[in-house]
Structure 1
Amino acid sequence: MKEIKISIAGASGITGIELLKIIDKHKYSRVIAALSRTFDGKKISSVFKNTLNLKNNNNIFFKDFFSSSDIKESDLVFLCLPPGKSMEYVKYLIENDYKGKIIDLGSDFRLNNPEDYEEWYGNKHILKEMLPRFVYGLPELNKKAIKNADYVANPGCYPTSAILALAPVMALKDLKFGSVIIDSKSGVSGAGRKLKEEYLFLNISENFFAYSPLKHRHIPEMEQELRKISGSVDKISFIPHLLPVNRGIFTTIYIGGTNITEITGITDRIKTSYNNLYKNEVFIKFIEGDIPRISDVSGTNSAHIGFMADYRTSTIKIFSVIDNILKGASGQAVQNMNLMFNLSEEEGLDMQGTCN
């Protein structure tokens, strides 16, 4: 197969460096340009020592812009950028006659409605006409569209953990419910490299707290995608928390006010729905009535999901864990790349995780 030439904008962020490490193990791709205004002109391995062992991408220097040759030669551009920046780069690429594919790991193209984007992110969307061209990149639920896409919006980390967990249950049309509460805990790497007082070691170590409990930016993304699965979903309640660990997300979901006591064999039907939806998905492990742990997925592109039916309170409780940097960001981005270029989804993603 022809080599996939890749450029990365925002290459010095946590997701950008993780992409470099994954692509180094990918048999069919190579990085030709890595952008970082902060480290312009510096060799990547001189700044980030965890890239010293890269075999195929160990001689790359950061640059601060895409040259005309980068744009011409690139088959794929990854955008690892903060809100409002990805659309600026997409505009620049299009204006410079870029012909390749784009995967945006940022948030600029996840929401279908530009008014939702402007409400939740506080920015005017400058490429509203491009929104319909971006496919929501959750491979287990949107595989066919991703395979045929030129532009993919990589999901957020919290939505990945929640939507994968909820989809099989939301697909049961006779299940009625009153509320969906999503309670997520994330490792501090989810906050990126920006320096904030609450992320300092003395504040995060031996500590645990919620943040953005009323209007986290991932809420409209989750509501949008869950409505596509079930018209019964209107609004969700989402509360994120910060854990004193490096990486990983543990999400607990409470589907309350259900009619599970009125549906014969509902527990088995829920199990069947999970098994039917994910039986051929290599990165999803449904563990039925067990409770997963972050340590089981840390350092992998996997999601582990379990559930329990609480008949006493008519509540379905779902548990989901992912690595926020891999399945929640860079790993899923490479999974999408593999689909877009007709490769095995597992290429470059055969990871055994960290030691526990």
Structure 2
Amino acid sequence: MPNSVETIRIAILGASGYTGAELVRLLSRHPAARIAALTAERQAGRPLTEVFPHLGHLGLPDLVKIDQVDWSGIDFVFCALPHGTTQEIIAALPHALRVVDLSADFRLADPALYAEWYGHEHRAVELQTQAVYGLTELNRRAVRDARLVANPGCYPTATLLPLLPLLLDGLVEAEDIIVDAKSGVSGAGRDAKQQNLFTEVSEGMHAYGVGRHRHMPEMEQELSLAAGRPVTMAFTPHLIPMNRGEFITTYVRLAGARTADDLRAALAERYRNEPFIRVLPAGTVPHTRHVRGSNEVHVSVFRDRLPGRAIVLSVLDNLVKGASGQAVQNMNVMHGLIETMGLEQAPLFP
């Protein structure tokens, strides 16, 4: 870390959820970060060790309500609040604060599209125009200068990182994209829900949000920008009985005489110098267990037995690269730090 870089005093809003806890875990080892405030409305007044015993040894501040935070002691904010609750809170923050928002509240550039998919009008339209979509590897320059970064969702991160370069290079047809997505149960959040009970999810799997999942407009927005024209995709998510991890299978139609090898070579070249993206050797299938606990994304490309088609596989940890790890990566870019700072940990195995 350069000697001129000062410690960043950080507030985590929504620290009692899974992504909040993951932010604490990652930032506790970040050499430029000091966690100065932790909020959790329902858990306010409790020490962190009572909510997350595995983080109790860090000596961090007790949980408080958002209106109890002394903003004069904060430099940077991570907002890990539920969708729909973030807009007015961020709008009320001191303007000098830079923010990474992990909710979906600022990901959609069109407020009308947000209202259509989230069921209410956007409550901070002026702020929405300032938000930058934080897919770090593909939007680094805009992230660097942003005041507010909308951290992408986990499904979009795993889907878009391999798919956007292929569209940008004209290697696949934008009119024929099919995504089969699978996520661990932590992707549904920490709130108690009957459908997420152990007996409801173990020893089986099921689809949800079929035909209309809230990540669809986010992905189509970015795909359309890459293709230069409107793109509509097929997307079906599934819940699988594991704590964390995400596996995306994307079926694409090749453009012209392109081959699956061309796609793999293009991705390998695009991500050659990216520390968190690994394009695997030909014939290698990615595994969610090989990225668990890390900020890595593993990608592979296979030839489909149907002529003119290819299959793109990608995996990540939905709580790290799919949420909190990418958020820390964006903070590093925004502060001109080494991008891997605080994110160097190898995947957990087994």
TM over 0.5: yes
Return the letter of the residue paired with 1:37.
E
Return the letter of the residue paired with 1:179.
D
**Aligned twin of 1:147:** 144
Counterparts of 1:117-132 in structure 2, within 5 Å, are 117-132=114-129
Return the letter of the residue paired with 1:25.
R
**Aligned twin of 2:87:** 87
Question: 2-side partners of 1:98 and 1:33: how far apart?
Answer: 18
Check conservation: 1:33, 1:66, Cα contact below 8 A. no
Q: Name the % identity.
A: 39
- For residue 105 of structure 1, report the CA deviation from its aligned partner: 0.3
**Aligned twin of 2:194:** 197
Question: 1-side partners of 2:198 and 2:20: how far apart?
Answer: 23
Per-residue CA shift, 1:114-146, capped at 9, x if unaligned?
Answer: 001000011210111111211100111001111
Return the letter of the residue paired with 1:43.
P
Per-residue CA shift, 1:321-352, capped at 9, x if unaligned?
Answer: 00000000000000000000000111111111
| Partner-residue secondary structure (3-state), 1:144 | helix
Question: 1-side partners of 2:218 and 2:174: how far apart?
Answer: 20
Per-residue CA shift, 1:64-97, capped at 9, x if unaligned?
Answer: 12446x222211111101111110211221xxx3
Question: 1-side partners of 2:245 and 2:34: how far apart?
Answer: 27
- For residue 177 of structure 1, report the CA deviation from its aligned partner: 5.5
Structure 2, unpaired ranges of 5+ = none
1:230 lines up with 2:235 in the alignment: no
**Aligned twin of 1:329:** 323
**Aligned twin of 1:71:** 71
- For residue 52 of structure 1, report the CA deviation from its aligned partner: 2.4
Return the letter of the residue paired with 2:64.
K
Counterparts of 1:213-228 in structure 2, within 5 Å, are 213-228=210-225
Alignment match of 1:164 (pick from 161, 164, 170): 161
Counterparts of 1:269-280 in structure 2, within 5 Å, are 269-280=262-273
Check conservation: 2:175, 2:231, Cα contact below 8 A. no
Return the letter of the residue paired with 2:96.
K
Return the letter of the residue paired with 2:292.
S
Check conservation: 1:72, 1:99, Cα contact below 8 A. no
| Partner-residue secondary structure (3-state), 2:182 | strand
Return the letter of the residue paired with 2:63.
F
| Partner-residue secondary structure (3-state), 2:128 | helix
1:99 lines up with 2:96 in the alignment: yes
- For residue 165 of structure 1, report the CA deviation from its aligned partner: 1.7
Question: 1-side partners of 2:323 and 2:60: how far apart?
Answer: 24
Alignment match of 2:18 (pick from 14, 19, 36): 14
Per-residue CA shift, 1:281-311, capped at 9, x if unaligned?
Answer: 1000001432100001011000000011225
**Aligned twin of 1:49:** 53
Check conservation: 1:168, 1:270, Cα contact below 8 A. no
| Partner-residue secondary structure (3-state), 2:92 | helix
1:287 lines up with 2:284 in the alignment: no
Return the letter of the residue paired with 1:126.
R
Per-residue CA shift, 1:158-194, capped at 9, x if unaligned?
Answer: 0000000212221232643541111110000001111
Check conservation: 1:71, 1:98, Cα contact below 8 A. no
Alignment match of 1:115 (pick from 112, 116, 124): 112
Check conservation: 1:9, 1:81, Cα contact below 8 A. yes
Question: 2-side partners of 1:167 and 1:304: how far apart?
Answer: 15
- For residue 312 of structure 1, report the CA deviation from its aligned partner: 3.0
Check conservation: 2:301, 2:311, Cα contact below 8 A. yes
Check conservation: 1:288, 1:305, Cα contact below 8 A. no
Question: 2-side partners of 1:108 and 1:177: how far apart?
Answer: 26
| Partner-residue secondary structure (3-state), 1:119 | helix
- For residue 280 of structure 1, report the CA deviation from its aligned partner: 1.0
| Partner-residue secondary structure (3-state), 1:247 | coil
Structure 1, unpaired ranges of 5+ = none
User: Where has structure 1 moved over 4 Å in runs of 4 or more?
Assistant: none
| Partner-residue secondary structure (3-state), 1:160 | helix
| Partner-residue secondary structure (3-state), 2:139 | helix
Check conservation: 1:184, 1:241, Cα contact below 8 A. yes
Alignment match of 1:209 (pick from 206, 211, 224): 206
| Partner-residue secondary structure (3-state), 1:255 | strand
Check conservation: 2:175, 2:232, Cα contact below 8 A. no
Per-residue CA shift, 1:7-39, capped at 9, x if unaligned?
Answer: 111111100011011110000111111111111
Return the letter of the residue paired with 1:173.
G
Check conservation: 1:178, 1:255, Cα contact below 8 A. no
TM-score (norm 2): 0.95
